Amino acid sequence: MAETAGRVLPVYLVADESVSMTPVVGELNAGLQSLHDALLREPLAAAKVRFSIIGFSDDVIVHSALSDLRNETALPQLSVRAGTAYGVAFSLLVDRIPADVRALKREGFAVHRPAVFFLSDGQPTDPGQWEPVYAELTDRERTPTAPNIIACGIGEARAETILHVATRPEFAFVATPGVEVGFAIAEFCTALTRSVIRSGQAVGGDTAELVVERPDSFRMAVDVV
């Protein structure tokens, strides 16, 4: 194929389906519905996003594989099951993300670094096991398609755990104590929608030097554009 088919951003929602999520899973499903509605109203943004919904507990379920949400009539519903084993979710992503990126490239797309939105309301029930899998997932040497992970903690999830899961400190969000968990979920879904719809490029934080001093030869060409 001579021309590429366009740019796409793969987005994975990885949601905690432990029993403790019972009171808020309805709000999370409603938030996903709003995301879907928003994308259907923004077909140009939707054309550049592929979305997957993954739920984890003691095991992991792919509720929907990476797909173009413009072709989906309804999103699957998250449910609640048992524990909070982070490792099974990261392990699935280690396999799935490189395969998904390869498939998109075969279709001719140029692919942005995938984004994972990780939501949990509890401490991991597999301490010592999830960390090595997480390290493999996020190490760009071992996993060239390593995702950016945006982590959101509600309820019992501790800030240090969420900071560990997020690939950058500014990608970690922990609900303020006292804030209703349902409200935090709504905020998370709003942030998710905004990020997905505005999947524009970020300014590169590369090695080039910021000009901070006026060069001697500078002259203002125009005062007002």
Partner 1 sequence: MSFDWAPPLIGVPGPQTPARAPQTQPYRPDTVADGWAAAGFEVRAASVRGPGHRASGVPRQDDFALATAAGSVIAVVADGVSNAPLSHLGATMVCRTVVDYLQRAADPVDWHDLLRCAGWALVEYAGRQLGETDPQRAETLLASTVVVALVRPDGPGRAVAHLVRVGDSTAWRLRDGGWEPLFTDPADPGGELLPDGVAALPRVPAEVDPVAVTLAADDVLVLATDGFAEPLGPGTGDLGRLFGDALTTPPAMTRLAWMLDFTGGSWDDDRTVLAVWPVPPEPS
Instruction: Report, in Å, the least distance between residue 118 CB and partner 1.
Output: 19
What x/- string results for residues 187 through 206 when contact with partner 1 is judged by CB under 8 A? -----------x-xxxxxxx
State the CB neighbour count (10 A cutoff) for residue 146. 21
Instruction: Report, in Å, the least distance between residue 184 CB and partner 1.
Output: 25
Instruction: Report, in Å, the least distance between residue 128 CB and partner 1.
Output: 30
Instruction: Report, in Å, the least distance between residue 139 CB and partner 1.
Output: 14
The DSSP code sequence of 31-68 is HHHHHHHHHHH-HHHHTTEEEEEEEESSSEEEEEEEE-
Residue 106: which residues within 8 A CB-CB, separation 6 or more?
Answer: none
User: 71, 74, 141, 210: which one contacts partner 1 (CB under 8 A)?
Assistant: 210
Determine contact, residues 10/67, Cβ cutoff 8 Å. no
Residues forming a β-bridge with 117: 13, 150
Nearer to partner 1, 74 or 220 (CB): 220
What x/- string results for residues 71 through 110 when contact with partner 1 is judged by CB under 8 A? ------------------------------x---x----x
Q: What are 185's two structure tokens?
A: 């979920």
Instruction: Report, in Å, the least distance between residue 97 CB and partner 1.
Output: 10
Determine contact, residues 165/172, Cβ cutoff 8 Å. yes
What x/- string results for residues 13 through 52 when contact with partner 1 is judged by CB under 8 A? -----------------------------xxxx-xx----
Q: What is the DSSP letter of 70?
A: G
Nearer to partner 1, 63 or 105 (CB): 105
Nearer to partner 1, 114 or 122 (CB): 114
State the CB neighbour count (10 A cutoff) for residue 49. 22
Distance, CA of 40 to CA of 35 (rounded, Å): 9
Nearer to partner 1, 48 or 121 (CB): 48
State the CB neighbour count (10 A cutoff) for residue 189. 24
Q: Which residues bind partner 1 (CB under 8 A)?
A: 1-8, 42-45, 47-48, 101, 105, 110-113, 144-145, 198, 200-215, 217-225
